[in-house]
Chain A
Amino acid sequence: MSYMNQEKPLKQSIIDGAEIYQDFCLQCHLDNGKGGANVFPPLAQSDYLANNLEESIRAVKHGLRGPILVNGISYDGIMTNQGLDDEEVADVMNYILNSWGNQYEQQITEAQVSEIEKK
């Protein structure tokens, strides 16, 4: 596998991730990452995201079923698998982790995403 050395720079990954976000995430989580009242959990300043990074990547890659607790509110919905490939999952995670006041020092890589399996 050669992608290990071809990992794109974080800046580019965030740019590509923004486009994926517009296409696949924004309708529910909104362009400010705040989600929708009691139905779609926030991604902006989300304690769930900060404390459950692997689960969050798994959610984007394989889908997620509630209930989950986010910033003190319980969300009991379903996010289905969006059909993104590993590179797209990494890009959109990097965008989310570096938007709306979120900050994450490391880059989520395609290799890292490829190792996350369905539970």
Chain B
Amino acid sequence: MNKFFLLNIFFALFIITSCAQDNGPKIQNELDPKYIYETVIHGIDIPWGMTFISKNEMLVTEKSGILYHVAEGQKTEVSGLPDIYVRGQGGLLDVIASPDFKTSNTIFFTASSADGEPKGGHTALYSAQLEGKSLINLKQLYKGEENSKKGQHWGSRISFDAEGKLYFSIGDRGNRTVNPQDLTRDGGKIYRINQDGSIPTDNPFYDQEGSKKAIYSYGHRNPQGMLTHPETGAIWVHEHGPRGGDEINIIGRGNNYGWPEITYGINYSGTPITSNKELPGMEQPLYYWLPSIAPSGMTFSTSDNYPYWKGNLLVGSLVFEYLERLVFKDNKVVERHKILEGVGRVRNVKQGPDGLIYIGVEGKGILKIIPQPPIK
């Protein structure tokens, strides 16, 4: 009885001390100028990914397994997708046009796939060519192995570096104790491959026996934001933490980002995951959100359309239903602002060829943000 009582006290203290304070800077309302949005296309429940294929045409993925071609306010279904395993957070995920799309018509996309064993699914990366409103030459370039029936943490976002190497993410597939720290297993990783699906021989674990050769970094939970920095060319990734501890990381070759050995978050139930926030050999995030905003999608705003935003990072928040604008100074977040608060769950954000910011909002579709009054 006594022992049990002490254990309870210990546990209570542990929870209190591990309940970290909100991480600053405090988020502010965007006051001036005002921004409004215009609907680009409506009627897409979960617009997971989008990519521009010309000045005024884009491809948009709907998580339930539809690829749309969108132009002039009309959406048309694109045929030729592979079978997609829609389960939990899985489905049709990101899409990106190849850097040489103009000549190759090639796109890349990620989706949950039930191919292979055992029953369940894992995240797969595909390439295909767009011919009219159909996909041809569909190829599965990579598929995470050992399927799972878990609904969580498929990732997945895609980006290219300056050499044209393709990076994509797979989340920990709901098996955090095993996947993220094990280089012989898929899940909880950022991958780097060539556009034909071959694996670059200079990948960090290419020569390590038993390791998955496509792994570029590990120790991730569920990365749903990725971009290539417009100036430095570095790959930036953000990931969902558990309760608290969403992170932004700059991806370095072979780095371990620590999940679940270190985290600023706790379990959804409120119990601790670990008391470690840092450990040797594991990277600290560039920034972490506490409380979690549930980040999805990100882009830098680099155009003159929004002078106040130039060089700022824009990140969708699923849980708070706004677009978050982060101002950096010397690689530190110094200001955070809410844009279009209450717009809905912001699933994705991209800067278009016109320099305008496009967001994918659940239950709505694709919206574009217009400064009000417009700044010339």
Contact = CB atoms under 8 A, between A and B. Distances in A.
B363 A24 contact: no
B151 A24 contact: yes
Nearest to A22: B268
B90 interface: yes
Interface in B154-188: 174
B86 interface: yes
Contacts of A36: 319
A15 B90 CA distance: 24
A27 B151 CA distance: 11
Interface string A67-88: 0000000001110111110000
Given A77-B363, A78-B45, A83-B85, A23 B64 contact: no
Contact of B86 (A27, A31, A65, A83): A83
Chain B binding surface SS class = loop
Nearest to B344: A77
A75 to B, nearest CB: 11
B268 A83 contact: no
A23 B153 CA distance: 10
Interface in A39-97: 39, 65, 76-78, 80-84
Q: In which size bucket is the chain B interface? A: 20 to 34
Interface string A6-31: 00000000000000000110110011
B321 A39 contact: yes
B221 to A, nearest CB: 13
A78 B63 CA distance: 13
Q: In which size bucket is the chain A interface? A: 10 to 19
B362 interface: yes
B90 A83 contact: yes
Nearest to B63: A80
Given A80-B46, A80-B64, A23 B319 contact: no
Contacts of A24: 88, 151
Contacts of B319: 36, 39
Nearest to A30: B268
A26 B86 contact: no
A65 B151 CA distance: 20
Contact of A26 (B64, B90, B268, B362): B268
Interface in B326-376: 345, 362-363
26 contacts: A23-B152, A24-B88, A26-B268, A27-B152, A30-B268, A31-B268, A36-B319, A39-B319, A39-B321, A65-B363, A76-B363, A77-B345, A77-B362, A78-B45, A78-B46, A78-B362, A78-B363, A80-B45, A80-B63, A80-B64, A81-B64, A82-B87, A82-B151, A83-B85, A83-B86, A83-B151
Interface of A: 23-24, 26-27, 30-31, 36, 39, 65, 76-78, 80-84
